[in-house]
Every structure is written in C-alpha cells, then in structure tokens.
Amino acid sequence: MTERPDLNGLRVCLPYYAAIYLIDEGKKRWIPSEQVYNALFTPLEGRPYGMLGNNFTHRDGVIRDINIKDIANGSDIPDTAALFKYSDNQAVYLLDGKAPNHVKRWIASPAAMNHYFFNWDKIQVWNMPYASSNIPDGTPIRNPSGVFEFSLDHTPKTNQELIDYLKWRALL
C-alpha cells in the first residue's frame, strides 16, 4: 500500500461500492455514515450516501476509481468529528480522533477548507475561549497546492506555524 499525500482532500470510492473515503495525510480514511459525511462535507447533490453510481466523477466531487485500493489505510473518520471554532477566535478546526484522544486540527486557510470540500455551514461555534480548551493540537490541514495561505484571524501557536507564517510573509 502506498501513501499519496498528493491526493489529500479528495473524497474517493470504488465504483459500485457504497463506502466513501477522505484522503488525508496521504491515507484513505473511511467516512462511516451519512451522518458523519453530512456533518463535515458539502452535500452529495441530493443523492443518499452510498448511492453514487459508477461514473468516474460527479459534480459532488467524489471520485470513483478502482485504484484507491492501492492507497494506504488510515484511521476511520470518527462519529464525533465536527468542524468548529472558539467564541474568541475565527480559526476553524476539525475535531478528529476518538474519545478520549480527540485532537483539534487547524484548517489553515479558506483554500484548504474548500479543497477538502468541508461545508462552511456546518461550522459550530463553541461557547468557550481558545485559552480554556484542553484539546491537544493535531496535524494542521493545509491546502495541498504547496502555497501556504495564512489567515490573519489565526495567531501562530507553534513554532512550525510561526515558521510557515514568516515564509508566507516573505512571499508578499
């Protein structure tokens, strides 16, 4: 099995199979239900989850390709996955991992949000300040184009985020 970070953000499935996967960190991660899919992603153009047909692509962005079986398996998207932001911060996060090992993964830019087909309308605002959160940071979700896009609404919180920000500033 091969890791494919170049495919990060794609949603894929095998032709004639119901299972939909997200390619994330180079691995395919199973989206276990319609409820989980709808909590995170843009709608499937009126078709129920698992009823996608056999076309290579649809307008919903899910790619049907027999070669996905060659992509390494990652952890399943958890039933508790959610898009959220804190009441005092505009940065958007993906709640990932299974309890009690949740992590928050910063979605680094609007371009990353759109590339992953995350649904802007599903972002929950948590009624708590960022400083009072005890959820550890996970790997940020970035736009895989290779161009770092920094959101001025997000303050760098790790050395790597600061380095990325400084590199981004150097491009201006």
As averages over each run of 10 residues, the pLDDT of the chain (172 residues) reads: 89 83 94 91 63 45 77 95 93 91 92 90 94 91 64 56 58 40
pLDDT at 81: 96
pLDDT at 99: 78
Q: Could you write out the DSSP letters of every residue in the chain?
A: -B--GGGTT-EEE-TT---EEEEETTEEEEE--HHHHHHHB---TTPPTT---S-SB-TT-EEE-GGGGGBPB-PPPPTT-EEEEETT---EEEEES-TTS-EEEEE--HHHHHHTTB-GGG-EEESS-GGG--PPB-PPB--TTS-----TTS---SHHHHHHHHHHHHH-
pLDDT at 51: 47
Amino acid making up residue 58: H
pLDDT at 77: 96
pLDDT at 148: 47
pLDDT at 82: 96
What is the distance between the alpha carbons of residues 124 and 27, in angstroms, rounded to a whole number?
26
**pTM as predicted:** 0.75
